[in-house]
Structures are given as C-alpha cells and as structure tokens.
C-alpha cells in the first residue's frame, strides 16, 4: 500500500490555492507569457528582496572563455566594501534553462547574501529555446571563471568559489564544478550547493511517477523544458551524474520530498558517497520543488533556506 506523502500545512495551503487558479498551463503559453508567469509566481509567493549596500548589475565581457559576448550578472553584498580576499558565491537561477532570469531570483539571491555574509554574483545565462544546450553551461562556466579571476569590475579578491543554484541552476552548479575541476580556474571551487537539481534523467523515476501533477513542478512542464533545452542525454554537461565524481568538491545536496525530480538528487548524493566525497544531504520534508522561492506563501521554507546556509557555514569552516 502506498501511503499519502507528508505535506506541511503551509505547503498544503499554497497547493490548495494554486489548484484554484483558473489559468493556462506553462505548456499552453507563449514563451513570453511563460516567463512573465514565472516572475509573477515569485512576486506572489516569495519574500521581498533584502535591502543591501551593494546590489549592482555588471557583465562578464567577451573573451577567449566567453566568445559569445557579454553575460549579464548581478552582484549582491551585505557589506559595503571588503579589503580582504573572500569566497565568492556564484548563483545560477532555475527555470528549466528557459524561463528564469536575474529578476526571478532577485529576492532569493539577496537573502543568501545576507545569511552567508558573502558576496554573491548571480549569472544570467543564455536561455533555450533561443540558445539550446550547451549554451547556458558555457555562459555559466565563462562567468564563473571571470569571477574567479578577481576582475577589477567586481571590486573583490576571490579566495575561492562557491557554486550554488536551484533546479536547472542546480544542474549548472554541478556541471560548472566538474568543468572547473577538470580545468581549474584562478581559484578553486570550495563548495557546491545544488538545490533540488536535475542531475540524472528523471524519466521513469518513482518520484516523477508520484509527484507528476499537483506539486508545483509537473511532468508536463518538465517535458516542455526538456524539449526546449535539448540536452544530449549522453553528455555529462547535460546529465552530470554521468561524470567521474572522484574529484567532486565538498557538496551540500538539497532535495524536496514532494518533487518529481527528487530521485535525481538522491542518485547524485549516493554517487558522491560511493566516490568517497564529502557531502551533506538535506531532504526538506513536506515541501515541493521551488520551495526556496515560496518563502512568503510557505513561511516554513525560510527555515529550510536557513538550514542550507548553516550547512554551508559548517562545510566552509571544515578542513579540506
């Protein structure tokens, strides 16, 4: 017998509200409508952005690592200035590589910068379907290498990089760490923090079957993203579970128990353990995909984010 999954009361209230919304599905929208809808959901459900002394737009310029041209980025810092070298967080937004941008994750990035007391640089990669796989990964890698080089435009000296992202950005988090492991940047990746990431193909998984409808992210939406992004299923840049994990950096792997791609994250946690790597595995019980962007509608999700940051502090303070 299959037992009903545990759903937190505040998460259930949000799901019940969403079920009453009589609007088109993402798959039935135009691309512009889908992107606007994603922004509207975060405007409705997430906490307001924090006011910080530093919130500044910048761009990774065209270079050998970035032949396509400027990559939009946004710097967040809870300190007005820093004179000493510091770890720098590079953040890659979710949205299936299709509908997210700097603004959809603005509130979350400001919160992470405050809670970690570290500078954070959010990266806006080229999106599908206009720029399918592996364009987004190339942008994320180029932008991260640029940040690691402590460019004058950033006004910071990097002592190391912390890669972090949610959903599609969680995928990019791991892929960038793997690419910088194979071909190191100016400073090392100190920690990677993939949050409800797609690491292995979720098609046919138990979580996809159980949570395919009614839990924020749906199987239908996943298929829409998959078709737009068109990742090569044999390429580790698309499905990083396929890579060698023996040199993975310390990792905080976060999943949501009600997420159709939950088992993809679990599989990566197991692969890291099997490879003898340091990993903290956090499965947030009773919440769905995107919980870090639902912190106003689902107040308990704020505590989940604080748990993630506490784990980051622990791992960064631990000896290598």
CA distances from 318 to 50, 236, 268, 301, 311 (A): 29, 29, 22, 26, 11
Write down the residue that tokens 């595995």 correspond to: 281
State yes or no: pLDDT of 1 exceeds 60.
Answer: no
Q: Which of 292, 220, 221 is nearest to 256 (CA)?
A: 292
**pLDDT single digits (tens) 52-77:** 999 999 999 988 778 878 999 999 99
179-210 residue pLDDT tens: 999 999 999 999 999 999 999 999 999 999 99
Q: Is the separation of the CB atoms in 231 and 252 below 8 Å?
A: no
Please say if 205 is a catalytic residue: no
Active-site residue, selected from the candidate residues 167, 177, 264, 290: 167
2 pLDDT tier (thresholds 50, 70, 90): low
In the chain, the percentage of residues whose pLDDT exceeds 90 is 95
Q: How would you classify residue 276: left for phi > 0, otherwise alpha for psi between -120 and 50, otherwise beta?
A: left
For range 91-119, the mean pLDDT: 98
Concerning whether 167 is annotated as a catalytic residue, the answer is: yes
| Residues 183, 173: Cα–Cα separation, whole Å | 16
Active-site position among 105, 106, 124, 289: 289
- Asked about 290 being catalytic, the answer comes back as no
Q: Could you give the maximum distance between any two Cα atoms of the chain, in Å?
A: 60
Class of domain 9-317: alpha beta
Of the listed 259, 263, 264, 290, which one is catalytic? 259
Grade residue 320 by pLDDT with cuts at 50, 70 and 90: low
For residue 37, whether the previous peptide bond is cis, meaning omega lies within 30 degrees of 0, is no
């Amino acid at each position: 017998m299959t037992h009903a999954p545990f759903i937190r009361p505040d998460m259930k209230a949000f799901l019940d509200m969403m079920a009453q919304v009589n609007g088109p599905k993402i798959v039935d929208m135009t691309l512009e409508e889908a992107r606007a809808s994603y922004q509207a959901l975060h405007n409705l459900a997430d906490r307001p952005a924090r006011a910080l002394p530093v919130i500044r737009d910048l761009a990774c310029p065209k270079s050998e690592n970035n032949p396509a041209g400027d990559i939009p980025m946004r710097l967040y810092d809870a300190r007005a200035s820093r004179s000493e070298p510091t770890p720098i967080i590079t953040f890659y937004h979710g949205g299936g590589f299709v509908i997210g941008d700097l603004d959809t994750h603005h509130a979350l990035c400001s919160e992470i910068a405050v809670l970690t007391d570290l500078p954070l640089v959010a990266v806006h990669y080229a999106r599908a379907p206009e720029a399918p796989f592996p364009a987004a990964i190339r942008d994320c890698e180029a932008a991260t290498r640029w940040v690691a080089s402590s460019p004058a435009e950033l006004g910071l000296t990097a002592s190391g990089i912390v890669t972090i992202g949610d959903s599609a950005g969680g995928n990019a988090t791991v892929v960038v760490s793997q690419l910088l492991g194979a071909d190191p940047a100016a400073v090392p990746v100190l920690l990677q923090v993939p949050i409800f990431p797609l690491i292995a193909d979720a098609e046919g998984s138990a979580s996809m079957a159980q949570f395919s409808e009614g839990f924020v992210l749906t199987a239908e939406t996943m298929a829409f993203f998959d078709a737009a992004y068109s990742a090569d299923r044999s390429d580790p840049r698309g499905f990083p579970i396929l890579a060698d994990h023996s040199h993975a950096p310390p990792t905080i792997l976060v999943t949501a128990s009600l997420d159709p791609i939950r088992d993809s994250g679990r599989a990566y946690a197991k692969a890291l353990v099997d490879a003898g790597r340091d990993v903290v595995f956090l499965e947030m019980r009773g919440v769905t995909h995107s919980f870090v962007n639902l912190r106003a509608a689902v107040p308990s999700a704020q505590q989940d984010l604080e748990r993630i940051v506490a784990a980051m502090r622990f791992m960064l303070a631990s000896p290598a």
